[in-house]
Amino acid sequence: MQTPKHVFKWFVGLYVLGLLAFPFSVQAQRVDLDQLMTTYIDLTFQSFAQGMDQVGGQAQSLPALQSNAADMANSISEIYDDEIGGGFEVIWNRRVNFFSDYLNAFKAGDENELLLVRESIDNSVIEVAAYLEEVVTDFSGASAQAQLFSISSLFYEALEKYQAGDVEAFNTLEEESVRQVNVLSTSLEERVAADLILITKAQEEAARLAAEEEAARIAAEEEAARIAAEEEAARLAAEEEANRLEEEQAAAEAAAAQESEAASQTNTATSTTSTTDSTTAVVASTDATTGENTTTKTATIDLVTTVDPESEQSQTTTEENETRELVRYTVDTPIYVRNPDTQELEPYPFSDVNATHDFRSILDINRRGIVQGYDDGTYRPENPVNRAEFTKIIVGTVESNPRGFDCFPDVRQEWFAAFVCFAQANGIVGGYPDGTFKPANQVNFAEAYKILGETLFPGEAVATEVWYQGYVDLAVNRGYVLDLSIPFDTSITREQLATMVARAMASKEQ
């Protein structure tokens, strides 16, 4: 049998259930909730007893009730966050004060004050319901508000029964209040349990994403370091190769100078050279039977000291074993070509190629039919070469009439399409990571070595960690490498193209 003094205990307890059940759905948290609820109910009962029996007894109990509210707020923060826990503490302390005021007004029999405090308690019901709806996912604030108003009405009626000494009615009202608060608590616990699952999953996902981002950052740093190391190694290797070539060239020049000086001293009396002009002319020729460039074989064929190709007396006449004097070519040095069929001297075929260019290589690939020059009679040796032009020229050394089209999104049926598609089908080119070929891009040295190597010497390049190094090594071994001090991402010119192709063709034909 319960006594009327239990009324304040169960009323406050059921409000604690209604407000606090939602953050304590996990078993590990539920034990703390039970302890906090029991403590709060005990403190409330003591506060009620002290308030009824002692002057100022209610006020003496407020610090303990507020401390307990802080403990509940901390428990809420563990499931949601500090802001939500702090919001609960403010709301609940305000309700503690309202019930304290109500008890004092009830004891004093002040009806006006009771009405004012009831209005404040009703407003706090609205505040609690709105708070629950905002914090707890998919929870109905309207339903909670209706249940809390009903419980408040039961409380007010129970206090009246307490004052009248009707214990049986008080017990009935208490049981109904507990039943209603259990309904509210169950609904809250179900929704908060779902909230906690979502919160846990979100935290796990955030941790996973953070770990992936950190791993990606570390991988990017490692890749950047690896690339930097490769570039540095390639730069050092290029410098070493350039130094080696420079030393070899200096040694060759020194030896040639000594040889020239000795030859000059020996042959001064016997050398017969007739000169009609101070400008030295150059004759570049090709052997009609072998197809080989013969510009370095005999001085009598390659060099004349005349600007008049019809004057036989002006040609340098030397014995077979006689060493000729080195000639320095300038932009003004005329160039004549010996016709392989008639052996007559003819003007050089390209008007913009002078003796300072690699005119022999340009003539070689022109006579092989690899390049034809432009309609205005120029070769344009300083012009860069794009990927479409270079691929067509190189593929043309092994296949004069390839077929194919639509092998890249940007290679359809253009003039170069068949050559590019042949190269793609035979593993000579592979395109860029985005699937395109980029035919208008200028071709650089690294790409040129690869395309030339795969076309003329398929399978000879050795795979290396730096993708183009094996093709550079192949060019060194085959003798068509150019100055290694030039960065590999530098665009090549049409003159450099001619040098590389002529050397590579000569190597292939050996």
Task: Name the token pair of 449.
Answer: 């070595």
> Could you tell me if residue 398 is inside a domain?
yes
Q: Which of 357, 392, 422 is the last residue before a domain boundary?
A: 357
Q: Output the pTM of the full model.
A: 0.41
Task: Name the token pair of 356.
Answer: 């300072």
> Could you tell me if residue 227 is inside a domain?
no
Q: Are residues 398 and 469 in the same domain?
A: yes
Q: Are residues 469 and 320 in the same domain?
A: no
Q: Are residues 12 and 157 in the same domain?
A: yes
Q: Which of 308, 323, 357 is the last residue before a domain boundary?
A: 357
HSE toward the beta carbon, residue 8, CA cutoff 13 A? 24
> Could you tell me if residue 251 is inside a domain?
no
Phi, psi (5° rounding) for residue 303? -120, 130
Please report the pLDDT score of residue 51 as a whole number: 53
Q: Are residues 503 and 412 in the same domain?
A: yes
> Could you tell me if residue 453 is inside a domain?
yes
Q: In angstroms, rounded to a whole number, what is the distance separating the alpha carbons of residues 469 and 475?
A: 10
Q: Which of 342, 357, 372 is the last residue before a domain boundary?
A: 357
Please report the pLDDT score of residue 40 as a whole number: 56
Query: Which strand ranges, in their side-by-side order, compose the sheet holding 281-285?
Result: 303-304, 281-285, 335-338, 345-347
> Could you tell me if residue 369 is inside a domain?
no
Q: Are residues 58 and 195 in the same domain?
A: yes
Q: Are residues 191 and 142 in the same domain?
A: yes
Q: In angstroms, rounded to a whole number, what is the distance separating the alpha carbons of residues 1 and 479?
A: 112
Q: Are residues 73 and 188 in the same domain?
A: yes
Please report the pLDDT score of residue 395 as a whole number: 94
Q: Are residues 19 and 147 in the same domain?
A: yes
Please report the pLDDT score of residue 64 as a whole number: 74
> Could you tell me if residue 219 is inside a domain?
no
> Could you tell me if residue 232 is inside a domain?
no
Nearest by Cα to 410 from 383, 429, 385:
429
Q: Are residues 180 and 320 in the same domain?
A: no
Per-residue pLDDT of the chain (510 residues; tens, 9 = 90+): 334 333 333 333 434 443 333 333 333 343 344 455 445 544 554 555 455 555 565 566 677 777 767 777 776 677 677 777 777 778 777 777 777 787 778 778 888 888 888 888 888 778 877 877 887 788 788 887 887 787 777 777 766 776 676 767 766 776 676 666 666 666 766 777 777 788 788 888 889 899 999 999 999 988 898 999 888 888 888 888 888 887 777 776 776 666 656 544 444 433 333 332 333 344 454 443 334 433 333 222 243 333 344 433 333 433 333 344 445 678 888 888 888 888 889 889 999 999 999 999 999 999 999 998 899 999 999 999 999 999 999 999 999 899 989 999 999 999 999 999 999 999 999 999 999 999 999 999 999 999 999 999 999 999 999 999 999 999 999 999 999 999 999 999 999 999 999 999 999 998
> Could you tell me if residue 377 is inside a domain?
no
Q: How many domains does the chain have?
A: 3
Nearest by Cα to 231 from 433, 462, 488:
488
Give the structural domain span for 62.
6-207
First to last CA, the chain: 118
Q: Are residues 47 and 195 in the same domain?
A: yes
Residue pair 167/158 in contact (Cβ under 8 Å)? The answer is: no
Q: Are residues 351 and 389 in the same domain?
A: no
Q: Are residues 393 and 339 in the same domain?
A: no
